[in-house]
Amino acid sequence: MAVGIFDSGLGGLTVLDAVTRRLPDLPLVYFGDNAHTPYGVRDAEDIYHLTTRGVQCLFDQGCDLVILACNTASAAALRRMQEGWVPKDKRVLGVFVPLIEALTERQWGDNSPPREVAVKHVALFATPATVSSRAFQRELAFRAIGVDVEAQPCGGLVDAIEMGDMILAEAMVRSHVEALLRRMPRPEAAILGCTHYPLVEEHFRTALGPDVAVYSQPNLVAESLADYLTRRPEMAGAGAVTKFLTTGDPQKVSNKATQFLRRKIAFEQAELPDA
C-alpha cells in the first residue's frame, strides 16, 4: 500500500514529514514537479494540465489515493479533476478542507450546514493563483458564516524557498505580513495556505505577534488522512515502497530536500505519461 503526495516542488515535503510522523508504517510516493515550480504564478488551465500529469504518474506507481499537498493545485485544479478526470476507483484529496475544518471547529468530514464560529477575522497567506481562485473563501462559506477573510498573495516567496534563499524568504514574509496587517490590523487567526510556508513558519509567527493563532497544514492534513484511512483502509493502494520522484534534477532536488527536512532524501527521475 502507498499513498501519493503531490506538490509543485518541495513544499509538499512538509506534509509528507507530518504524515510520516503520524503514520510511520504507511509507504508514501512523493511527486515534486520541480521542473515547473512555482505553480502560483500560472493560470488555472496550465495548473490543471501539470497537476493531472503528476497525479497520473502517482496512479501508475500504485497509489489509489493522492493528496494534493499543494494549495495552488487544490484551488485551481481539484474541483475540475474530481468532476471529470479522477477514475472511479481512485481518490484525490486537497489540503484546504482539513484546515478549514480545524478553523471552524469541526470533526473531520463533518458536512453539516454552515454555522457561526468563534473566529471572525482571518488572514490568509497564499500564492497569487490560490488567492485569485477564492477557493478558500468558497470552502469556508460551506462551513461558517460571518467570517471576514483578508488574503495576501505572497508573490516571490515560493521561489525564494525553492532557491533555498532563506534570508530573502524572511524579508518577504515580513513585508507580506505588514501589507496584510495594514488592511486587517487585528486578525484572530492566520492561515498559512501554501505548503511551502511551514518552512518559514517561525518568521510568520514572529511578524504576526503572539495574539494571532497560526494554522499550518502539515499536522492537520496528517490527522485527517489518518482518520480517512480508518474509514477507508482499502484506499491505501497497492504500492509498497516509499519513494521520491521529481521532474527536476534529482541530485539538486535531493540536496535541497535533505537540507529542508534535515534527513537524507534521495529523489529519482519521474517517468511522466505523455502530456
Q: Are 61 and 2 spatial neighbours (Cβ–Cβ below 8 Å)?
A: yes
Considering the complex, state which of residue 19 and residue 194 has its C-beta at the smaller distance from ligand DGL: 194
Active site residue 194: yes
Considering the complex, state which of residue 117 and residue 166 has its C-beta at the smaller distance from ligand DGL: 166
Provide, rounded to whole angstroms, the least separation between the CB of residue 196 and ligand DGL.
Answer: 4
Q: Are 92 and 68 spatial neighbours (Cβ–Cβ below 8 Å)?
A: yes
Considering the complex, state which of residue 1 and residue 248 has its C-beta at the smaller distance from ligand DGL: 248
Spatial CB neighbours of 273, under 8 Å, sequence gap ≥ 6: 53, 56, 57, 60
What residues line the site for ligand DGL (CB under 6 A)? Answer: 7-9, 11, 37-40, 70-72, 127, 130, 158, 194-196
Provide, rounded to whole angstroms, the least separation between the CB of residue 268 and ligand DGL.
Answer: 21
Burial 189-221, CB ≥16 within 10 A → b, else e: bbbbbbbbbbbbeebbbebbeeebebbbbbbbb
Strand, coil or helix: 153: strand
The pair phi, psi for residue 240, each rounded to 5°, is -125, -5
Provide, rounded to whole angstroms, the least separation between the CB of residue 234 and ligand DGL.
Answer: 28
Provide, rounded to whole angstroms, the least separation between the CB of residue 11 and ligand DGL.
Answer: 3
Q: Which of 57, 63, 70, 154 is catalytic?
A: 70
Q: Which residue is nearest to ligand DGL (CB)?
A: 40
Residues that are catalytic? 70, 194
